[in-house]
Chains A and B, each alone.
Chain A
Amino acid sequence: MSLLELDSVTLKFGGLTAVNNLSMSVEEGQVFALVGPNGAGKSTVFNLISRFYTPVTGSITFDGQDVLKMAPHEVPNLGIARTFQNIELFHQATVLQNLLVGRHRHRQTNMIAQMLHLPSVRAEERAHRHAVEEVIDFLDLQPYRNSRIAGLPYGVRKVVELGRALASKPRMLLLDEPASGLSVEETQNMRWWIDDIRRHMGITVLMVEHDMGLVGKVCDRVLALADGAKLAEGTPAEVQSHPKVIEAYLGTNAVSKGGKVA
């Protein structure tokens, strides 16, 4: 059985159909990409999985559990962590504190114990900190540990957001445009990290990405969306040369000339 399954999901905002009868399944251990032109509904699919939106019809299951029965804050407890297209960090806090919020779902002490700072709280804090340090080591964030987000450059923020998602020790990562706005070198790093996340941490990755170079290098499977509906699904090469995808990106003329989406 697949880890994440969307079955004929439809979402409408008034008269606009943002996601139209979409079915997809992501297998455990895969790196799965959603591609498509702007406004195709890629991020909307992420927001459906995060339960920010509720679909009109259809079902979403994660590891056999019904995601639609959960509140947005319960979704991370399934082991789903995500990043945002426009970076949603806690910008008045330090990098360390941001990463520690990623550990939120693993907390075990209650409010009273925390107020009194009982030994159990101290022990838990050490454990959280240890887990966070592993993420810092993995992503080379050591120089920024105590910097406030508000003063960090865009590229670093992008990495911190990935780190915050990793700190929650998820089974599945949802990355919303992990390489947007990054330099060539930073995109390279992102590529190696996504590879390592899959290989060494065993985390399934579902990502939205426009950079077809990155998609081609790290993804096993690609799904192309346009106007909320599935256009094509397959390996990166298959999808890139699929006539419907070329039509959506480049127009009908390009199809007859045998173009390919780069």
Chain B
Amino acid sequence: MRFHFKTDYDQDIRLFEDGWTFSLYAALLVLALALPLMIDPFFLGEATNVLIWAIAGLGLMLLTGQTGQVSLGHSAFMALGCYSCVLMMEANVPFVLAFLLAGVITGVVGALIAIPALKLHGVYLAIATLALAILADDIIVLLKEWTDGVNGKMSPPIDLFGYEISRWNNPIEWYYLTLAVVLMVTLFYRNLLRAPLGRAFAAVRDSEISAQAMGVNVAQTKTIAFGISCAITGLGGALMGLFAGAFNNETFNFLLSIQLLMMIVVGGLGFIHGAFLGAVVIAFLPQVLSMTTDLFGRGVAIPGLESGVFGVILILFILFEPMGLYGRWLKIRVFLELFPFARKDMFKRQKSYLKTERLR
């Protein structure tokens, strides 16, 4: 166990609590940078896919994990990010600008939608946003002049400062592009958490009434959270569409929202690490499933197997490990650090004292 003798407030403010943690994450970054040298293009494509899921998941994590607002409408914002990015690229807007603007547009639209929706709490908010996700599907079909409806669009190749990146010819460049976006989003996310806005998010999540009594504008904070969350998810959606090569209204149907939500729950709600661990599960589970069915079923496809297994995993996590994979890792780490003094009931949830809900 490491002991921290703190002599400076900056030790609590900076990104890494000590040199050891810093070197761990530096090693992880080096590993991520060296990954293309170690694995073949197919698996590199899978790694890119994991990172894209992680970006979209970080978006929803900010809203659900940090601010406590459940959204099942994030597939709509992925679609918005994707279509706006591709349409701008087709209008010859440089990729970097189109990509970032797609995030901004999605964020602004998300914030505008949030203003009426955030009067709702809990499951009602989930239902309202689910309606949004289902609606998005139809809107894409209706706007076929721009979106080409059910026929879908081909993703144009990415032109990064005159250097063309296509999914099939330049998997390594694609990977680095995605990694760069991941690093940017994670850094912004982490910076928010150590600033007043991030604490306001947590305040709104845990007790709206006392957040107000401390001067937090609850409606505004929720709107900002929705906006930032949608912006990040929109970036993830843009990358997902571009990476897929072709996309239509089906690519971003409401099941994607449910997968996103499941991903952050399985990964660990409220942890940045959770979004990444969940992304690994979501991205590799279909692969693992198809390998197992190949092995045992002699290649016979079982309809609905994937969503069934996803559902079972989600239920098992909610029942047995509500803190997700990252929460489980934290428990293991504490057990090892305190060995042999860790007690079995250390993480037992203490029943909370009476809360004032009647003021809602």
Contacts and interface: CB of A to CB of B under 8 A. Distances in A.
Interface of A: 47, 50, 52, 71-77, 81-82, 84-93, 96-97, 100-105, 107, 109, 111, 114-117, 121-122, 124-126, 128-130, 133, 150-151, 154, 157, 164, 168
Contacts of B359: 47, 52
B64 to A, nearest CB: 13
B356 A164 contact: no
Contact of B211 (A75, A101, A103): A101
A86 B352 CA distance: 11
Contacts of A125: 9, 13, 194-195
A72 B350 contact: no
A109 B196 contact: yes
Given A101-B211, A107-B196, A111-B224, 4 more contacts: A73-B215, A102-B214, A122-B10, A151-B350
Contacts of A90: 202-203, 205-207, 210-211
13 contacts: A50-B212, A50-B213, A52-B212, A71-B217, A73-B216, A84-B210, A90-B203, A101-B199, A114-B191, A114-B192, A114-B197, A133-B9, A151-B350
Among B9, B191, B214, which residue has the most Cβ atoms of chain A within 10 A?
B214
Contacts of A154: 353
B355 interface: yes
Contacts of A85: 356
B274 interface: no
A82 B213 CA distance: 7
A72 B209 CA distance: 9
B200 interface: yes
A116 B191 contact: yes
Contact of B355 (A88, A115, A151): A88
A129 B12 contact: yes
Contacts of A81: 213-214
B176 to A, nearest CB: 22
Query: Is the interface on chain B under 10, 10 to 19, 20 to 34, or 35 or more residues?
Result: 35 or more
A209 B249 CA distance: 61
Among B196, B211, B216, which residue has the most Cβ atoms of chain A within 10 A?
B196
B356 A73 contact: no
Interface in B283-332: none
B220 to A, nearest CB: 8
B349 interface: yes
Interface of B is mostly: helix
Interface in B2-28: 9-10, 12-13
B1 interface: no
Interface in B173-230: 188, 191-192, 194-200, 202-203, 205-207, 209-218, 224
Contact of B203 (A101, A105, A128, A157): A101
B217 A73 contact: yes
Contacts of B10: 122, 126
A181 to B, nearest CB: 9
Nearest to B68: A92
A105 B214 contact: yes
Interface of B: 9-10, 12-13, 188, 191-192, 194-200, 202-203, 205-207, 209-218, 224, 270, 349-350, 352-356, 359
Contacts of A89: 206-207, 210
B197 A101 contact: no
Contacts of A92: 202, 205-206, 270
A101 to B, nearest CB: 5
A84 B356 contact: yes
A111 B216 contact: no
B202 A97 contact: yes
B13 A126 contact: yes
Contacts of B353: 86-87, 154, 157
A160 B169 CA distance: 58
Nearest to A105: B215
Contacts of B355: 86, 88
Nearest to B190: A117
A93 to B, nearest CB: 5
Contacts of A77: 215
B108 to A, nearest CB: 13
A167 to B, nearest CB: 9
A73 B350 contact: no
A105 B349 CA distance: 32
Contacts of A122: 10, 13
Contacts of B209: 52, 84, 88
A84 B205 CA distance: 17
